[in-house]
């Protein structure tokens, strides 16, 4: 039997897809006119009050817009004193699959402390992605079989630049803001349908399915701008290889936590499985996370400062 041997491009593209999901490649899903999730109408206000009680599932969340439910989820995530959980993922690319795992940690509200560590193993080679934000600096370290890369972003400069901007505040990306900002970035770029009740295994969830907004498609497919704005179906085969078209989000009915995310190329895909699936499990809420987890001391000397690029991608 002949086996396809994973190559460096396979590994790097696989990690690129993961980076899209956690928001480190902000420009891939960044819309030109950010519109943060905002609850609309009395139904949204009543749902918010219900989620602040002991049983948010009592609210009729299925009657809300998808964007309203995501706003509720963001608000709930920002209330916890700390979060710790395990992560597993599967990447389908080049007719091959990468499977890996890792951990996610989130600090206290307002701290902007977060840590995401991911590893994958293929053909006796290990690749890793580590992103740590201590509130002042966002560090990202990626290690491939043949190379490695370390970047840093000055968080204060990013916040100052956004404060001076005339545009609405754009999501900061998961690196600086954790899971709440990941959901905000998805809300910025994806048009979600109203949620449907379902189960993830035996776990009651709300399933939200969405597709790229027209303005996001125009940014990713500028040559098809006129056709997209005229309401014509875009040629999705021209999308960048790491850009998804469809996203499915599974939120816990009881806690609105994002337990599973699926990213897919949509109708243009020839794969039976989504291009990327990420799952968060063994979740601990209000966890007293060791502050050392949000501290990074680089041992690799070749550090690239990408603050300016990060700011540009958020605009």
* Rounded Cα–Cα distance for residues 16 and 91 (Å): 10
For the record, the structure tokens of 24 come out as: 């480190």
Top pLDDT among 38 and 258 is at: 258
pLDDT digits (tens, 9 = 90+) for 47-96: 444 444 444 443 578 889 999 999 999 999 999 999 999 999 888 766 67
* Radius of gyration of the chain measured on its C-alpha atoms: 19
pLDDT at position 241, please? 75
Entry pTM: 0.82
pLDDT mean over 276-281: 93
For the domain 31-314, what is the CATH code? Answer: 2.50.20.10
Query: Is a pLDDT exceeding 80 seen at residue 42?
Result: no
271-296 burial code (b ≥16 CB/10 A, e <16): eeebbbbbbbeebebebebeeebbeb
* Rounded Cα–Cα distance for residues 309 and 265 (Å): 26
pLDDT digits (tens, 9 = 90+) for 6-38: 455 555 555 655 655 554 333 455 544 333 333
Top pLDDT among 17 and 117 is at: 117
Q: Which of 69-78, 158-167, 171-180, 264-273 has the highest mean pLDDT?
A: 69-78
Q: Which residue carries 């009050």 as its tokens?
A: 49
Q: Which of 11, 21, 296 is nearest to 127 (CA)?
A: 11
pLDDT mean over 105-124: 87
pLDDT at position 18, please? 62
pLDDT digits (tens, 9 = 90+) for 229-242: 999 999 988 888 77
Q: Which of 194, 252, 238 is nearest to 57 (CA)?
A: 252
Contacts of 147 (CB under 8 A, 6+ apart): none
Q: What residue ranges do the domains of the chain occupy?
A: 31-314
Q: Is the Cβ–Cβ distance between 234 and 228 less than 8 Å? A: yes
CA–chain centroid gap for 287, Å, is 21
Top pLDDT among 266 and 268 is at: 266
Q: Which of 105-109, 127-131, 242-246 has the highest mean pLDDT?
A: 105-109
What's phi and psi for 226, nearest 5 deg?
A: -65, -40
pLDDT mean over 291-298: 94
Contacts of 29 (CB under 8 A, 6+ apart): 20, 185, 186, 188, 189, 190, 216, 243
What's phi and psi for 268, nearest 5 deg?
A: -80, -10
pLDDT digits (tens, 9 = 90+) for 171-228: 566 788 889 988 988 888 899 999 999 999 899 999 999 999 998 899 889 999 999 9
pLDDT at position 150, please? 94
pLDDT at position 274, please? 86
Give residue 3's pLDDT band: very low, low, confident or very high (50, 70, 90): very low
For the record, the structure tokens of 11 come out as: 């590994």
Q: Which of 37, 19, 13, 55 is nearest to 241 (CA)?
A: 13
């Amino acid at each position: 039997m002949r086996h396809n041997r994973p190559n460096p491009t396979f590994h790097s593209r696989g990690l690129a897809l993961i980076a899209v999901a956690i928001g480190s490649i902000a420009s891939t899903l960044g819309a030109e006119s950010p519109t943060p999730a905002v609850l609309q109408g009395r139904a949204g206000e009543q749902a918010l009050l219900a989620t602040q009680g002991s049983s948010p599932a009592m609210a009729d969340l299925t009657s809300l817009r998808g964007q309203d439910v995501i706003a509720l989820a963001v608000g709930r995530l920002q209330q916890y004193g700390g979060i710790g959980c395990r992560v597993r993922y599967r990447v389908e690319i080049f007719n091959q699959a990468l499977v890996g795992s890792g951990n996610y940690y989130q600090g206290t509200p307002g701290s902007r402390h977060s840590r995401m560590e991911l590893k994958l193993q293929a053909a006796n080679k290990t690749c890793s992605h580590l992103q740590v934000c201590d509130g002042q600096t966002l560090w990202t370290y990626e290690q491939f079989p043949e190379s490695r890369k370390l970047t840093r972003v000055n968080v204060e400069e990013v916040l100052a630049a956004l404060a001076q901007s005339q545009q609405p505040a754009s999501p900061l990306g998961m690196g600086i803001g954790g899971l709440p900002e990941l959901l905000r970035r998805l809300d910025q770029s994806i048009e979600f349908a109203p949620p449907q009740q379902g189960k993830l295994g035996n776990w009651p969830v709300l399933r939200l399915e969405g597709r790229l907004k027209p303005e996001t498609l125009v940014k990713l497919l500028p040559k098809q701008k006129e056709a997209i704005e005229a309401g014509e179906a875009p040629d999705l085969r021209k999308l960048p290889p790491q850009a998804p078209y469809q996203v499915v989000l599974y939120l816990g009915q009881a806690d609105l936590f994002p337990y599973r995310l699926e990213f897919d190329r949509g109708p243009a895909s020839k794969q039976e499985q989504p291009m990327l699936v990420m799952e968060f499990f063994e979740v601990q809420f209000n966890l007293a996370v060791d502050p050392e987890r949000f501290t990074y001391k680089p041992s690799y000397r070749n550090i690239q400062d990408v603050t300016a690029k990060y700011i540009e991608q958020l605009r």
